[in-house]
Amino acid sequence: MNTTDPADRVGSGPPTSAPLVLRFADIGAESLPEVGGKAANLGVLAAAGFPVPPGVCVTTEAYRRVAAGAGLEEVLAALDATPPDDVPALGALATRARELVLRAPVPDDVADAVRREAQGPVAVRSSATAEDLPDASFAGQQDTYLDVTGADAVLEAVRSCWASLWTDRAVTYRAAHGIDHRSVRLAVVIQEMVRAEAAGVMFTANPVTGRRHEAVIDAAPGLGEAVVSGAVNPDRFVVDLATGRITERRPGDRPPAVRSAAGGAPRPGTADAGTTAAHDGTTNDGTVGAGTAETGPCLTDAQVTALAALGGRVEAHYGAPQDIEWALDGDGTLWLTQSRPVTTLFPIPRHLPGEEPDGDAGPRVYFSINVAQGVYRPFTPMGASAFRLLSAGAADLLGFPVRDRMAGAPVLAEAAGRLFADVTGVMRSRAGRAVLPRLLDVMETRSARVLRGLAGDPRFSVTRRSVRPALLRAARVVVRHRIPARIAEALVNPPAARRRAERLARELPARFASPPGAASPDRLDRVERTLGSRAIRAMPSFLPAPATGFALLGLARLLLGDRVRPGELQAVLRGLPHNVTTEMDLELWRLAGRIRADGDAAALLLGVPAAELAGRFHDGSLLPAVAEGLRGFLAAYGMRAVAEIDLGVARWSEDPEHVIGVLANYLRLDDPALAPDVLFARGAAEAERMIRTLAARAGLLRGPVVRFALGRARSLAGLRELPKFYMVSVLAAMRAELAAVGADLAGRGLLARPDDVFFLTFPEVRKALTVPGPGPVTRPGSPAVSPVDPAGSPAAAVAERRAEAARELRRRHLPRVLLSDGTEPEAVASAAPADGALTGVPASAGTVTGVARVVLDPVGAHLTPGEILVCPSTDPGWTPLFLTAGGLVMEMGGANSHGAVVAREYGIPAVVGAARATELIATGRRITVDGTSGTVVAS
């Protein structure tokens, strides 16, 4: 929750000398605390010379004084204690708050100030202090009243606007966005009516495709409330702002037009109309307004282009895409009645200054690294900085040395705390275009489809036709790292290949650690060297074995041809041995079995919150039967975490709450037939039977080759998780080094707490180590220290980045491919699933019907045995949930992505790459997952 100064809290303090009413001319962007977002924007537009209908703002001081007498404290205390997902409770409290505000007396000076502004028909519009913000627009959360005439009617409309700060939708919106209800106040705009012949809404960037500088205009005859409220299907125009060309026209419905009508009673709009229309199309005496059924577009081409040009100027003034409400009066004058930032657009990825890739000019193609790695949340600044160092090492390995190792490979870009790779050069290369989509076919199929769709775009035509440079670079890597010899070893002696790779994965990370007592600058040097070169040099040692296994699986597919049915080759990979992540999950299951046998231990895990048990584990007071088993598990797997490729994320050894929660979840599984080890063994037996079946089906000559190929595939394919396990182990070791540096900086007063170091970058940490500190600071649990030296202390930057990370964690949509003009190609090409079916990529054969459980974050999640897990993506931190899942639906991934592989190994049907699954499927809904056809349907 946001903290606020006591003087700014709802209903606090006696009357002050603050103004009760301000003219638009007296309002600027800095006036937001006094006038709210809507009025602040109108003041900015008016001051800049844009056509804004005249008006005034009844300031938040008036609301504060009314709220002070409303008796809201009890409701506010209850709201503080109500979880954001308890919608019924929030709604009941919102109703109570509205009633209190509506009954509160209005001080005489406030009432007089409002009545003085009641000149002619006006619109009375709410303007809250927490709206039209960069990360939350709050559009439509409070009320607007239209065509209001008469002093008493205007005062009543203002009172109703104050009460609308407590609508159910406004309260739940604030709760969902973590905005303190006590910190929000409401101002009210009283604005001259526009007698509109046409009105509507304009976005200066396409809100569906994300394309910047493309205006999308919705328009309807008369007043614009019907457009905003969705009561009509409006005319739609799409305009290229750079050229003024209208690229799309779509006529809307033509019901009777809603016109403004004089009268005395306020008429509510269902949302913030922007234009000044009633939502129901009636006059004050209940009759239909002056509109009649009309035909043809409500705007001429000249009016459309003029409106788009006006929108372009507004966008240029604010420096960001805008959501604009407008009206066209009978004289042909365009009016702006509101402009707010478009908060739903995903930011365009940006390279570090001076680090843009060399090569072709023109639009760029960005591929989401977060999506490819199954990490939905933003990276910490240190995690992103570490990834840049790793990318520099990878570029060196592939023969592309970088200019600045701290900046990483030039292809790296960042947006919204997520990492992207600029793959424009790959798309323009004949070799890259052939290889990249095929790689993505088995790890992120939806991305592969998007990139193949871009192949026909002339902006990304092939300019590098020769494959010789790529082959030469690949040959150098193959020779330097003895890849043929390692492939031969994997073919001839799989156990030896496995032992060597597993030994390296376990031993190398420990070699990278600093000696005890190392100084902070030395630790930082070691981390930078390890991530920048040493760690990556070992990667080719891990890849040949699993690559050989999947190559042999492909050989078997080729030899079988049409003799193999859908899902049968996937069955060969069930119960796959030698997978370090599967072994981790089964070890956790065995630990749950030992705890189950101890009645006291089982009761403890089932009866005490995981967070409390994690605290007991660290302070040594946890029941020994649980503590010893947990300690053993963490000794082997404590380097893992959810979103573990982010070095800034705490490891399970630091915070075992998630592991403890999973153990409790396992204890709830009481059907022996559904035990994970039983399912795993059953899957392995089915895989061996399928190998025999397919070998027999292949025929006398091909059968032995198919049997050999599939047998080797089972022996080697499970090692696909080992490279990531190695890299995660390295990241955990380097995190420990940086934690020691953070403790040093905190001890010197430069950070409030040691883990603040993960909200800095490597150069920032190095700079901080040179700054003299003010001395010891208050430890965690006390207020954060203010920087003694603002120019040298990183404390302010850390606080700002933590707040930004909290906002980004609420972002629901993450594009997998994005163009440099903001276009999301998948959004352009996507269509609604036929007949209500959700389609994706078949990942694990079989069909299951069950209750859906939508999980956005596995930490603390509980999955009742048999429930179908619906999630954005997965990494190994998710897989303990698979042991009790009846099926899997995942928005991201391909047939060989992590979630797909684990689902096959556990024998649960799975569909991956199912767009918007977490939005379209609700928890508790009964669905059928067909992992063979790749469909999900309601049942």
Query: Would you name the residues annotated as active-site residues?
Result: 898
Q: How, if at all, do strands 212-221 and 196-205 pair?
A: antiparallel
In angstroms, the Cα distances linking 805 to 72, 792, 918 are: 31, 22, 21
Structure tokens at 310: 């006006």
Counting Cβ atoms within 10 Å, is residue 516 exposed (0-12), middle (13-18) or buried (19+)? exposed
How many other C-beta atoms lie within 10 A of the C-beta of residue 919? 11
Residues 6+ apart with CB under 8 A from 302: none
Q: Kindly tell me the number of DSSP H helices and DSSP E strands found in the chain.
A: 34, 24
Measured CA to CA, the distance from residue 815 to residue 898 in angstroms comes to 19
- Comparing CA positions, the residue from 871, 882, 878, 877 lying closest to residue 921 is 871
Torsional class of 916: left (φ above 0), alpha (ψ -120 to 50), beta (otherwise): left
Q: How far apart are CA 603 and CA 267, in angstroms?
A: 59
Contacts of 273 (CB under 8 A, 6+ apart): 123, 144, 146, 223, 224, 225, 228, 229, 279, 325
Distances (CA, A) of 1 to 83, 660, 807: 12, 27, 11
Contact 842, 393 (CB under 8 A): no
How far is 228 from 272, CA to CA, in rounded Å? 8
β-partners of residue 439 are none
* DSSP-H helix ranges across 201-300: 225-229
Q: Diameter of the chain by CA atoms?
A: 99
- Contact by Cβ (8 Å): 334, 326: yes
Instruction: Determine the Cα–Cα distance for residues 638 and 443; give it in Å rounded to an integer.
Output: 26
d(CA 651, CA 659): 11
The token pair at 584 is: 């981790």
Complete DSSP assignment for 289-315: -S-----S-SS-HHHHHHHHHHHHHHH
Handedness of CA 233, 239, 245, 248 (dihedral sign): negative
- Under a CB-based contact definition with an 8 Å cutoff, are residues 557 and 713 in contact? no
Q: What is the 3-state secondary structure (H, E, C) of 573-591?
A: CCCCCCCHHHHHHHHHHHH
Q: How many CA atoms lie within 13 A of 348 on its CB side?
A: 16
CB 518 within 8 A of CB 743: no
Residue 402's CB: how many other CB atoms inside 10 A? 21
Residue with tokens 């101890």: 598
Other C-beta atoms closer than 10 Å to the C-beta of 135 total 12
User: Please, where are the H alpha helices in 748-889?
Assistant: 762-768, 795-808, 825-829
Provide the 8-state DSSP code for 530: I
Residue 21, token pair as written in the block: 């009413």
Residues 6+ apart with CB under 8 A from 746: 752, 753, 754, 756, 777
Q: Which tokens in the block code for residue 283?
A: 């006059």
| Angle, alpha carbons 19-23-24 (nearest 5°) | 130
Q: How crowded is the C-beta side of 475, counted as CA atoms within 13 Å?
A: 6
Beta strands 838-839 and 935-938 are antiparallel
